[in-house]
Structure 1
């Protein structure tokens, strides 16, 4: 089994390559927004580096009448909170250095969380950056539907998971939405 640190490094390179090869992937993924599970309040994210841009998906979800929010790191070792957000609203950096809504934005609990990732497998396995932010949040919100947003080329056969790793319910890629097996 590949070490998670080595796998993360390899998958960062793969994701960066995929981002360069297919600049329209995010728009094609957004074209499948209607295939996502139901949920009135949907958490999206602001892409960093080569993460698949959730911006086109956010616009599609907003046009479909769903309420959007973004995750906010208030404390590094705690679950994230979510603040209401609409595309185009100004953002500030949170404790993790990620763009997030201002503190005046309403705090909400999402029904569905769209998460970035480095790799995924057909059984809902997710390899994140290693900070644990999403896993802590998923553990605190076990009823929330968890969906990865990724390039199809980020899929792996069988990811190594640890006891604290929480599986996704499905993944949305430029090829469409697929529930976990």
Structure 2
């Protein structure tokens, strides 16, 4: 089995290839927004690089009456916080250099967190970028529903899972929503 560093490099290349092959995937995934688990306050993210873009999904969720928020890194080794956000509102870079709502935005606790990833498996395993931001946040919010947002082609047979890795409840791809047992 390859280690996580090698797997991350391979999956970054896979995700970049998938993003280049299918520009319509984010819109097709957004068409399945209604099949997501309930979450009055839903956390989305601002896509960086080849991450599956959440713009169309954010609009679909807002149209369905969900309030949105974005994650904010305020300390590198701490769980993220979430600030209320609506599509089109201005953003600034947080401590990790990721676009986030301004500090004046209300801090909220989401019911559902949509997370980017490099790879996932059928048991809810998630391979992230390696910074641990989402794992620390999931550990601090154990009751929040965790859903990956990814290209279907990011699925792998089996991910190595360590003690600090927290499994997803499901994944939303351009093929639809799938819950994990």
TM bin, normalised by shorter chain, reads over 0.9
Structure 2, gaps ≥5 residues long: none
Q: Give the equivalent residue in structure 1 for 2:176.
A: 176
Secondary structure (helix, strand or coil) at the match of 1:147 reads strand
For residues 112 and 147 of structure 1, what CA distance do their matches in structure 2 show?
7
Q: Give the equivalent residue in structure 2 for 1:109.
A: 109
For residues 39 and 134 of structure 2, what CA distance do their matches in structure 1 show?
18
Structure 1, gaps ≥5 residues long: none
Write the mapping of 1:7-156 to structure 2, written as runs, cut at 5 A.
Answer: 7-156=7-156
Deviation at 1:74, TM superposition (A): 0.1
Secondary structure (helix, strand or coil) at the match of 1:49 reads coil
Deviation at 1:55, TM superposition (A): 1.0
> Could you state the TM-score of these two structures normalised by the residue count of structure 1?
1.00
User: What do the CA deviations read for 1:155-177 (whole angstroms, capped 9, x no partner)?
Assistant: 00010010000000000000000
Secondary structure (helix, strand or coil) at the match of 1:178 reads strand
User: What do the CA deviations read for 1:50-83 (whole angstroms, capped 9, x no partner)?
Assistant: 0000111110000000000000000000000000
- RMSD of aligned C-alpha atoms? 0.4
Moved over 6 A (4+): none
Q: Give the number of aligned pairs.
A: 181
> Could you state the TM-score of these two structures normalised by the residue count of structure 2?
1.00
For residues 40 and 148 of structure 2, what CA distance do their matches in structure 1 show?
18
